[in-house]
Structure 1
Amino acid sequence: MSEKFQMVAKTLQGLEEVLAEELKEIGAENIEVGCRSVSYYGTKETLYKSNFWLRTALRVLKPIYVFNARTIDEFYGNARKFDWTSVMELSHKFAVESVVNSELFPHSRYIALKLKDAIADQFRDRFGKRPFVDPKKPHITFHIHVNNDVCTVSLDSSGESLHRRGYRVAQDVAPINEVLAAGLIKLSGWNGDSVFIDPMCGSGTILIEAALIAYGIAPGIFRQHFGFENWLDFDEQLLQSIYNDDSRERDFEYLILGRDISKQAIASAMENIKESGLNKKIDLGVASIFDYNPPKVDNGIVITNPPYGERLKKEQIENFYKQLSDVFKNKYAGYDVWIISSNQEALRSFGLRPSKKINLLNGALECKYQRFSMYKGSLKSKQS
């Protein structure tokens, strides 16, 4: 029976519960939701599946050593006690990332430096040489998290952030993070059961993530490499079996439609969709949202990331959002329309009352993710 151990998956604020649900689907155990993270237990197979299948995880860490320290000297001394040769070799280049939440150690960079010293000094004492530190292309990445006097060292199993799927070869002015895009779809409850539209699709990230969900395709399928492939206990056969398992793939009978007024944005979207191999599964076209007529349906979904107005005057963006609400009201009967925006003033001028609100972050911007249900006929008849 495979050994079970703790893992921690990092995510964006507001997506923790979605990530916990994804973890249940891959068989994770003892799942505990934290702030921008979810802790859980599983086997090596769970770890590999986490990196390959989780749509809303940024990275997956494996805690390997916990110790207490109240001074820098104590930190260095206790860090030296771990056998670092059990997780890396002298030939491995390594890096250390640090997060410090402690009045005892105000400088996170210094903590990272002292852990690097503890690791390198142990190798020097044993082999007469220190391994190289390479923050840009390390073989092994350690994360040190300090909370008051509790210090937790973890191995980073992901390597490059998992939001970098590998299909984005072109981008628009302000592309949405792939993990956030997948999170928006998951939060909406859409699971490939109706028409999907992004009428302001930019470089196509939301469309691609929707297609991956609709067809049951793993987001890790495009990745060239995961961090755990450099680990001493890497099992290539196990990874290949996960790669080759197509049991979750399925047919999708509806349309996924993307439109944008910008020819350049659609050209970028086409490049990315072609790179993802989904070009026959997504319908793209150049069109203003004010001119585009969506398919008439009883049940459909719109998820879009409209301009927030950083480069527009207040009157212009508020007028744009008011016109948007008119378009959705007049053309999108039967659709649930989900909009993410950081512009609270513009959302107030939207002219429709949201049926659901969720607080999220898009980069550093605090956003509202809101659902507007475009009922066919009167609201009264919909509720009766």
Structure 2
Amino acid sequence: MEFIAKTLAGLEPVLAEELQQLGASEVLPVNRAVRFEGDKALMYRANLELRTALRVLVPVHQGKAQNEEALYRLIREVDWSQYMGVNDTLAVDAVTNSDFFRHSKYAALKTKDAIVDQFREKSGRRPSVNVYAPRLQVNVHIYKDEVTIALDSSGESLHKRGYRVSTVEAPINEVLAAGMVLLSGWKGEQPFIDPMCGSGTILIEAGLIATRRAPQLTRERFGFMRWPDFDEGLWNSILDAARSRIIKAPHPLQGSDKDFKAVRLTEQNASLAGLDGQVDVVRKKFEKLEPEHPNGVLIMNPPYDERLEEDDIGALYEMIGDRLKQAFSGYTAWMISSSGEGFKRVGLKTSKKHILFNGPLECRFAAYELYEGSHKK
């Protein structure tokens, strides 16, 4: 079977490596996605265990269309009775990057019309639409005149882990947070610190990686569970295997924030994620934070939105650079931000950098190797 795992821009190589570790074959990164091949068990594991995937799609048909009539005919070429019955419900999601189809919602509407018309002609009745919990979720991707029709095996987006019941303002996406931790190369073999943890997403994703806990272990429903060929026995065996791999975090996981509410939220969310007692969260400003353990990895997501004045950004990032130099020698520090001015004011030389997107914002994710004294090549 062929699959497509969707992800965020910049995380394609990370997702490809995850899939290879799961045993996928023919792994091919493409724009914001990775194509791969495998069997039903791999599809189940991909939904349960991938940390940087948003959805796992199963392509069922491809073709070309340059207008709505051609798209309608292409959708009708699929025998939809293989995947659902007339009494079942469906939902259609469309993504378009095409001069022929400029409105994704219209493409989704034409797809829905083609499917229900096929059932009406055969049985005199039509399936209903249910955008919240459909029996079948269909994904249509149109690039120029190339159309890919796929079934969404995930259902809800896989960034929804189920542990984040409430957040502080502008929380980072779970998939992005996991991708940042994996890009840093950290897998739990050193202490980990997030000194501006907010509601704890980066810290919790690091904890899930360190404990080898599958990110979707508490999710009750996936799209594939509503399919006619769902294999409950196979799924339960995959769940049991995932649970058997969980370990205790081998090194400390520390979070801090100056906001009392953020500290409480991080503790609550970490408990819901299965990390109760395995993360240490304190209320403290970064300029006064001291690492409790030598030699580790620090990842932070400081403020960088446009509401901050340039002078405020400059002072904040200067403070970050000074504190890293003063207190965190022996650490590798990573920071994500869309503020070019902020990065200039840090005053440290980057050792690695990646371009990532936090929502619509293009960000730099940069590393600083913090040595005691001067570092000579």
The aligned counterpart of 2:320 is 324
The aligned counterpart of 2:213 is 217
- Per-residue deviation, residues 308-358 of structure 1 (Å, max 9, x unmatched): 143322111211110111111000010000000111111111111111111
1:121 to 95, 112, 117: 117
The aligned counterpart of 1:276 is 273
In 2: Cα distance, 1:129 partner to 1:272 partner: 46
Ranges of 4+ aligned residues in structure 1 off by more than 6 Å? none
SS in 1 for 2:115: helix
In 1: Cα distance, 2:32 partner to 2:260 partner: 36
The TM-score, its normalising length taken from structure 2, stands at 0.97
The aligned counterpart of 1:142 is 138
1:102 to 91, 98, 104: 98
CA-atom RMSD in angstroms: 1.3
The aligned counterpart of 2:307 is 311
Q: Is this contact kept in 2: 1:170–1:269, CA < 8 A?
A: no
What pairs up with 1:185-200 in 2 under 5 angstroms? 185-200=181-196
Once the two structures are aligned, what percentage of the paired residues are identical?
45
Q: Which stretch shifts more, 324-333 or 92-101? A: 92-101
Cα distance, 1:247 vs structure 2? 4.5
Change (3 A) 1:194 1:227: same
- Per-residue deviation, residues 176-223 of structure 1 (Å, max 9, x unmatched): 100000000000000101000001100011111011100110001021
1:288 equivalent in alignment to 2:285: yes
1:266 to 254, 259, 263: 263
Q: Is this contact kept in 2: 1:309–1:317, CA < 8 A?
A: no
1:238 to 234, 237, 245: 234
What pairs up with 1:1-384 in 2 under 5 angstroms? 5-245=1-241, 246-297=243-294, 299-380=295-376, 383=377
Cα distance, 1:38 vs structure 2? 0.2
- Mind listing any 5+ residue stretches in structure 2 that lack a counterpart? none
SS in 2 for 1:76: helix
- Mind listing any 5+ residue stretches in structure 1 that lack a counterpart? none
In 1: Cα distance, 2:70 partner to 2:319 partner: 62
In 2: Cα distance, 1:96 partner to 1:124 partner: 18
Q: Is this contact kept in 1: 2:198–2:263, CA < 8 A?
A: yes
SS in 2 for 1:64: strand
In 1: Cα distance, 2:321 partner to 2:99 partner: 49
Q: Which stretch shifts more, 130-139 or 232-241? A: 130-139
In 1: Cα distance, 2:139 partner to 2:323 partner: 48
In 2: Cα distance, 1:26 partner to 1:280 partner: 29
SS in 2 for 1:379: coil
Cα distance, 1:264 vs structure 2? 0.8
The TM-score, its normalising length taken from structure 1, stands at 0.95
Q: Which stretch shifts more, 72-81 or 208-217? A: 72-81
Cα distance, 1:296 vs structure 2? 4.2
In 1: Cα distance, 2:166 partner to 2:289 partner: 24
